């Protein structure tokens, strides 16, 4: 039995939009530290949601900016089609831009490649794992990769800055995580040799939020769970990897679910956050967050009151980071202003996927086909 299937298909999809300067709609008010014109100030942000497709559970999310974003999901009905939606007006309207013939596919990750390009990953055993690529906003798609190894099960993909080189990670095959790589912007993919990958017997990844594999600069990281909850780090575009203890507890349904690294001109070293928990005990967020300052070693920071599936650094801030998670009716969103050492529960509503854009907007997505703008 594939243990990643222990990750439940949730009941709520929410896309959250947080602006850095606007007075926002909704009943929930937060007060994280933000930066406007180089000065710190207090801001509040709220969530206002709209149902896009109630038949879907969205776990894939990619945002280009405050106006353009993609979400990808799977049907809540067995055998139903997986879908991809895109907005270009800040979430007021969403267009179904799904690839053709997606019945039974579970889209768990989408990566934006410029304003009109995207790659989307379907997960599953054998040929159910595949990658589609579009260059024209989803009007046309090509099936760029189909997994030919019946023992492989791909969980996440990510592209390096510039969008030319991309990686996708599969659960271990013959005791080692497997990496597929593209060097042409996602047009074609090739499975890399396993001699540069450490042994990971009994471990697996979580296709929970599309963030189990992330990139920054020339570095890449991915995490997982099972017999150990390690974080694997590559500095050479995925050829070789080094495994380090994440400090997050492992288990049959526990480990690292998502990662986020600082990017852009505010990036300091390789500052990153790893989040996780236990899907079999989603109310326990003790030691579910780890932090790195160099991208190599990890240490425990503060605890959550819920599991963490995804994290995002708030744009324009020094140390503010948002974490969210959803497991059935158990969910939450928490905010830290000190890089993860202390956390405030800012909502009892949680999501699966979360990302923030450089122009000061954060988006999140969860179950039951709802997206929103704040």
Instruction: Of 49, 113, 58, 111, give the one whose Cα is nearest residue 83.
Output: 58
Rounded CA gap, 344 and 303, in Å? 10
Residue 45: its pLDDT value, please? Answer: 53
End-to-end CA distance of the chain: 40
Q: What is the pLDDT of residues 265-306, one digit of tens each?
A: 444 458 999 999 999 999 999 999 999 999 999 999 999 999
168, two tokens: 């996708």
Q: Are strands 330-336 and 39-42 parallel, antiparallel or unpaired?
A: unpaired
pLDDT band (50, 70, 90) for residue 363: very high
Residue with tokens 């999310």: 61
Rounded CA gap, 76 and 80, in Å? 7
Q: Which residues have CB under 8 Å from 5's CB, separation 6+?
A: none
User: How would you label 27-52 residue by residue, b for 16+ Cβ within 10 Å and e otherwise?
Assistant: ebebebbbbeeeeeeebbbbbbbeeb
Instruction: Of 271, 223, 272, give the one whose Cα is nearest residue 248.
Output: 223
pLDDT band (50, 70, 90) for residue 361: confident
pTM of the model: 0.88
pLDDT band (50, 70, 90) for residue 40: very low
Q: Are strands 213-216 and 219-223 parallel, antiparallel or unpaired?
A: antiparallel
* Cβ count near 78 (within 10 Å): 6
Q: What is the pLDDT of residues 226-254, one digit of tens each?
A: 999 999 999 999 999 999 999 999 999 99
Rounded CA gap, 260 and 297, in Å? 15
* Res. 25: pLDDT tops 80: no
* Res. 5: pLDDT tops 80: no
Residue 128 in 3-state DSSP?
helix
Residue 264 in 3-state DSSP?
helix
């Amino acid at each position: 039995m594939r243990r990643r299937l222990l990750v439940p298909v949730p009941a709520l999809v929410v896309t959250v939009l947080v602006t850095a300067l606007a007075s926002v709609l909704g009943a929930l008010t937060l007060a994280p530290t933000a930066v406007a014109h180089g000065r710190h100030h207090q801001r509040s942000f709220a969530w206002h949601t709209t149902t896009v497709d109630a038949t879907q559970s969205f776990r894939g999310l990619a945002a280009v900016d405050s106006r353009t974003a993609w979400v990808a999901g799977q049907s809540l009905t067995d055998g139903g089609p997986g879908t991809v939606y895109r907005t270009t007006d800040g979430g007021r309207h969403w267009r179904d831009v799904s690839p053709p013939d997606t019945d039974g596919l579970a889209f768990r990750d989408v990566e934006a490649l410029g304003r009109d390009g995207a790659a989307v990953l379907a997960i599953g055993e054998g040929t159910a794992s595949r990658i589609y690529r579009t260059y024209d906003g989803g009007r046309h798609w090509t099936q760029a990769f189909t997994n030919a190894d019946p023992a492989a099960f791909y969980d996440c993909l990510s592209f390096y800055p510039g969008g030319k080189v991309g990686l996708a990670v599969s659960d271990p095959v013959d005791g080692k995580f497997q990496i597929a790589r593209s060097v042409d912007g996602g047009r074609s993919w090739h499975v890399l040799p396993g001699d540069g990958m450490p042994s990971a017997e009994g471990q697996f990844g979580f296709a929970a939020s599309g963030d189990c594999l992330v990139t920054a600069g020339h570095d890449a990281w991915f995490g997982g769970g099972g017999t150990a909850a390690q974080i694997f780090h590559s500095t050479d575009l995925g050829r070789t990897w080094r495994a380090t203890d994440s400090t997050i507890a492992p288990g049959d349904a526990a480990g690292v679910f998502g990662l986020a690294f600082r990017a852009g001109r505010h990036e300091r070293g390789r500052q990153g956050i790893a989040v996780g928990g236990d899907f079999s005990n989603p109310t326990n967020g003790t030691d579910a967050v780890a932090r790195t300052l160099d991208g190599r070693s990890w240490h425990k920071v503060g605890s959550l009151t819920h599991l963490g599936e995804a994290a995002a650094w708030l744009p324009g801030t020094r140390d503010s980071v948002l974490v969210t998670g959803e497991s059935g009716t158990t969910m939450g969103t928490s905010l830290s202003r000190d890089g993860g050492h202390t956390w405030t529960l800012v909502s009892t509503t949680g999501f699966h996927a979360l990302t923030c854009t450089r122009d000061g907007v954060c988006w999140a997505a969860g179950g039951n086909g709802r997206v929103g703008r704040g």
